[in-house]
Amino acid sequence: MKNLLFYFLFIFTFSLFSQEIKQDTTRIQNLEEVIVSSIRVKQNAPIAFTNVSKDELGKKNLGQDLPILLNSLTSVVTTSDSGAGVGYTGIRIRGINAQSTNITINGIPYNDAESLGTFWVDLPDFASSVENLQLQRGVGTSTNGSSAFGASINILTNLISKTPYFENSNSIGSYNTTKNTFKFSTGILNDYFEFSGRLSKIDSDGYIDRSSSDLKSYFLQVNYKKENTLIKALSFGGHEITYQAWNGIDEETLQSDRTYNPSGMYIDQSGDIQFYDNEVDNYKQEHYQIHWSQIINSRLTSNLSFNLTNGLGYYEQYKENDNQDFVTRKWLDNQFIVGNYSLNYQNNKVNMNFGSSYSEYDGDHFGKVIWAQNTAGIQIDDRFYDGKGIKKDFSNYIKTTFQLNSKLSLYGDIQFRNVNYKTSGSTNDIANFIINKKYNFFNPKGGINYLFNNHNNLYFSFARSNREPTRSDYESNPNIRSEQLNDFEFGWNLTKKKLNVTTNFYMMRYKNQLVLTGSIDDVGSPVRENSGESYRIGLEVETVFNLSDKISILANSAFSDNKNKNFVTSMDGELVSLGKTNISFSPEIVSSLNLVYSPKENVVVSILNKYVGEQYMSNTDSTFSKLDAYSVLDFNFNYDFKNTFFFSEIVLSALVSNLFGTEYVSNGYYYTYDDTWSDPNSISTIEGAGYYPQATRNYLLGLKFKL
């Protein structure tokens, strides 16, 4: 680590003093964008992407997690364990699970290094601190951290506020959901400094029984800006206590009592059903970032970033085993250190980025018994398993956009990534869990963009991505292999005064894709397996049509075919080849239609329809694993009062989700087990499924005051 820090500092210092520093007003205005410029793409890039602004998020931000706020985007499907969008939420893009979506915050990887998942519940109300974000579909451009394997989301947090402000946002709604947020900024002090922050508190009972959420978060930022230099120091984090709701319910319960939650259920000594009060996930996470962005001259900029993330928490569960009862806590104590460096060179024809990223993850996994009854030999607070995972990730990339002439531009991007992952000790199920894996990945990308005229352009790109398995993948199968994706994208953009149309065709070809089996483990994490050769072929269409100054239509549709070429599984005690099957959790149709009406400048009314086609929770095309298609309508209202009383702004917001009260399921799991009891001479495979029902009609009301 020390050698790497020296390497970063040497390059940064050399680049800083080897060039004459010149004042450039235009570049200074965009200095904060340097932090994410190396991993984002611009309009002429041959990549499918969507930019989302602070204002767009703010209209719907009444307490729900960030994935739910992105639900209307192309190829996006979201879900919520509690059913109401607060607490544990998930997002899939192009049918690809969150473990294959790369998330960065100010260029710093946010995906958990071991699970590759993203736990938004650890950063409640983070949308209130987002300036803008870019969602790239497909492999996209090279980024920091684990490779994007289907999508990436690059987030930039709040920019410097030139003027001071104080803001208080409050929301109340269904299932006793409340949100209270305080934000402030000092504005620029002494021409150089700005200090800003946020405190948030969110509570919700959840739509599902006892799926309560107690969420606290903060965001603090200090900025120093002088001419060509920007230094940002940030600290943000959250503490979440959520009652577990990942067990789901079976088909019969779905029909009779769709809000039922079996988590925490046990039989007391009188033979009565009880529910354990503290069947919770209790986790605290804190992030510390520092960024140094420098305009070296009118063509050269650089950014140096460091990050420290600390996490500590546990799952608490009541366990029954015959007449023995006990309560366990499964702990995770982890630390994540990251260093990034990027250098950008730009002139009239060339835009070149060089970047390096290094990270170290150290995670302690252990379990404790905190209470026991009728259990001989169990010592309270003894660790019944104790393991460690250490992961080191080092990557370098260089990418260039070259403008050959006024119509044609070329894009090239190569990334070298080295991953070293080691485990020791035990897990809950494995007495001696020893993994020592090293990966060297080469990820090339390239593309072409052709501008026919001021209204039309075509692009084509190819990108390769390789990804390593996760800790839970190794727990399921120590011989599991890394996966590879070759992604081909072909698009057309039409841009006119009242009409914008973006059409993108993609073909994603996989080798050893780690597909979701449909099963989940004992803490709700998805189980994956290699599927050999597979592919995803799709067409995405986005349209923005301004009917008038007051009415706009925003629509997108994604049509796809997602197949395993020759899927092999165990059925009735034998390996069976099922041939071509559907990839799990991959609907063939996902669409969104948003009608926006603004009768006045300060009034916005929108109606959003989201449609998700049927999908399978397994790769076997089993009818047991099918999730039905659903269509949901949401209503959103915003009224902005300017300069009212002594406030500079008062905003009244309303969100009615699932306006027509549709009973639908957006997620679930599928499982099989071998039955030998019925006939000892044969093995019969039994199938089953669990479901996560989503809330029927529900609402949130918000009121924001700004000084």
**Is-contact 496 455, C-beta < 8 A?**
yes
Question: Which candidate, 627, 701, 651, 706, places its Cα nearest to that of 77?
Answer: 627
Full-model pTM: 0.93
**Hey, what are 172's tokens?**
């109340």
Whether residue 215 is predicted with pLDDT greater than 60 in this model: the reply is yes
Burial 514-540 (b: 16+ CB within 10 A, else e): bbbbbbbeeebbbbbbbbeebbbebeb
Query: How far is it, in rounded angstroms, from Cα 97 to Cα 103?
Result: 13
- Cα Rg for the chain, rounded, in angstroms? 26
Question: Which candidate, 168, 169, 216, 165, places its Cα nearest to that of 195?
Answer: 165
**Is-contact 388 362, C-beta < 8 A?**
yes
392 Ramachandran zone, left/alpha/beta (phi>0; psi -120 to 50): beta
pLDDT on residue 29: 47
Whether residue 7 is predicted with pLDDT greater than 70 in this model: the reply is no
Residues in the chain: 707
Segment among 339-343, 573-577, 678-682 with least mean pLDDT: 678-682
Query: How far is it, in rounded angstroms, from Cα 665 to Cα 658?
Result: 12
Whether residue 223 is predicted with pLDDT greater than 90 in this model: the reply is yes
pLDDT on residue 677: 63
Query: How far is it, in rounded angstroms, from Cα 673 to Cα 680?
Result: 15
- Residues contacting 129, CB < 8 A, separation 6+: 157, 158, 198, 219, 236
* 627-645 pLDDT tens trace: 999 999 999 999 999 988 8
Query: How far is it, in rounded angstroms, from Cα 105 to Cα 234?
Result: 11
What average pLDDT score do residues 496-512 get?
95
Annotate 17-73 with DSSP letters as a single string.
Answer: HSS-----HHHHHTGGGHHHHTT---TTSSSEEEEEEHHHHHTT-SS--HHHHTTTS
- Residues contacting 410, CB < 8 A, separation 6+: 401, 402, 404, 446, 447, 448, 449
Write the single-letter amino acid at 204.
S
CATH architecture classification, 2-706: Beta Barrel (2.40)
**Domain ranges across the chain:** 2-706
**Hey, what are 410's tokens?**
């070329």
Average pLDDT over all residues of the chain = 91
* 447-499 pLDDT tens trace: 999 999 999 999 999 999 999 999 999 999 999 999 999 999 999 999 999 99
**Hey, what are 431's tokens?**
């007495």
Helix (H) or strand (E) holding 81: none
- Residues contacting 638, CB < 8 A, separation 6+: 59, 603, 604, 605, 651, 652, 653
Query: How far is it, in rounded angstroms, from Cα 209 to Cα 174?
Result: 13
363 Ramachandran zone, left/alpha/beta (phi>0; psi -120 to 50): beta
Segment among 65-79, 134-148, 680-694 with least mean pLDDT: 680-694
Query: How far is it, in rounded angstroms, from Cα 702 to Cα 179?
Result: 9
Q: How many helices (H) and strands (E) does the chain have?
A: 7, 38
Question: Which candidate, 537, 505, 554, 627, places its Cα nearest to that of 72?
Answer: 554
**Hey, what are 700's tokens?**
């949130």
* 13-35 pLDDT tens trace: 444 444 433 444 344 447 888 89
Annotate 259-308 with DSSP letters as a single string.
Answer: T---TTEEE-TTS-EEE-TT-EEEEEEEEEEEEEEEE-SSSEEEEEEEEE
44 vs 82, which has greater pLDDT? 82
Instruction: State the DSSP code for 15.
Output: H
Query: How far is it, in rounded angstroms, from Cα 553 to Cα 544?
Result: 6
pLDDT on residue 23: 40
Interstrand relation of 698-706 and 551-571 (parallel, antiparallel or unpaired): unpaired
Segment among 78-87, 177-186, 684-693 with least mean pLDDT: 684-693
Burial 35-47 (b: 16+ CB within 10 A, else e): bbbbbbbeebbbb
Interstrand relation of 108-109 and 130-138 (parallel, antiparallel or unpaired): unpaired
pLDDT on residue 12: 43
**Is-contact 108 336, C-beta < 8 A?**
no
pLDDT on residue 668: 95
**Hey, what are 435's tokens?**
């993994």
- Residues contacting 706, CB < 8 A, separation 6+: 165, 166, 167, 168, 647, 648, 649, 650, 651
